[in-house]
Amino acid sequence: MTARFTAETTALDGVTVLTRRRFGDERGFLSRLFCGEELRDFGWPGPVMQVNETGTTEKGTVRGLHFQHPPFAEWKLVSCVQGAIFDVAVDLRHGSPTFLRHVAVELSAENGKALLIPAGFAHGFQALSDDVRMIYVHSAPYRAEAEGGLHPEDPRLGIAWPLAISRLSARDQGHQAISIDFQGLDI
């Protein structure tokens, strides 16, 4: 089988940057957004339980940082199919040597990159262009009662957002800074 993407590891164990291969001709191209069989090698835990699309209209907008508490913690495969984003994953795994560290990757329709994020990480992004569209593939269904979030400007995280934050939802503004006694998620 021909690999449909190339993979690049990051400084955070389990977080992988995937670059989709485009197969094209005079009509255009085909690019596979998800292949469970290929992603098993990188830890994808099983079937897809949910696929979501988001649209973000304004450059500079930040969405996140969101996660699901165990036992509803989820894997995510995040792809940008229109525009460009600064995509961030933060390690929240209890006992991890990279606890509270993050990785950031530019994902865009042009570069064809996606970010594979294991359970135990918070995820968020900043729109680097207007009219961004994203596709999220989830290993578990969303549970409102399991939702968690971190404030994207929490100094303890040290995320250097590339643009001034132009828009942040009331929900995301309401996330508190991480308390000094936060021990992480038991995954």
Q: Tell me: the pLDDT tens digits for 114-157?
A: 999 999 999 999 999 999 999 999 999 999 999 999 999 999 99
What number is the average pLDDT over the span 102-121? 97
Residue 5 has pLDDT above 90, yes or no: no
Q: Is residue 136 part of a domain?
A: yes
Phi then psi dihedrals of residue 126, to 5 deg = -120, 135
Catalytic residues: 66, 136
Cβ-based neighbour number of residue 91 at 10 Å: 24
Q: Give residue 89's domain range.
A: 5-22+29-173
Q: How confident is the model at residue 164 (pLDDT cuts 50, 70, 90)?
A: very high
Q: Is residue 180 part of a domain?
A: no
Residue 23 has pLDDT above 80, yes or no: no
Q: Is residue 135 part of a domain?
A: yes
Q: How confident is the model at residue 25 (pLDDT cuts 50, 70, 90)?
A: confident
Residue 33 has pLDDT above 80, yes or no: no
pLDDT at 24: 78
> Taking the model in full, what pTM does it have?
0.93
Q: How confident is the model at residue 2 (pLDDT cuts 50, 70, 90)?
A: low
* Strands annotated E in 61-183: 61-68, 76-82, 84-91, 102-108, 113-117, 121-127, 132-138, 147-149, 167-168
Q: How many CA atoms lie within 13 A of 6 on its CB side?
A: 6
Phi then psi dihedrals of residue 145, to 5 deg = -70, -15
Q: Is residue 185 part of a domain?
A: no
Q: Is residue 59 part of a domain?
A: yes
Residue 22 has pLDDT above 80, yes or no: no
Q: How confident is the model at residue 34 (pLDDT cuts 50, 70, 90)?
A: confident
Q: How confident is the model at residue 186 (pLDDT cuts 50, 70, 90)?
A: very high
Contact call for residues 161 and 86 (beta carbons, < 8 A): yes
Q: Is residue 138 part of a domain?
A: yes
pLDDT at 16: 95
Which helix (H) or strand (E) is 39 found in, with range?
helix 36-39
User: Cα(159)–Cα(174) distance, rounded to whole angstroms?
Assistant: 18
Contacts of residue 27, Cβ cutoff 8 Å, sequence gap at least 6: none
Residue 31 has pLDDT above 80, yes or no: no
CA-to-CA separations, 185 to 25, 67, 94, 177, in angstroms, rounded = 46, 10, 5, 16
Q: Which tokens in the block code for residue 43?
A: 């830890």
Q: What is the CATH number of the domain that holds 149?
A: 2.60.120.10
Q: Is residue 181 part of a domain?
A: no
pLDDT at 1: 47
Look at the chain and report how many structural domains it folds into: 1
Nearest to 64 by CA among 41, 87, 45: 87
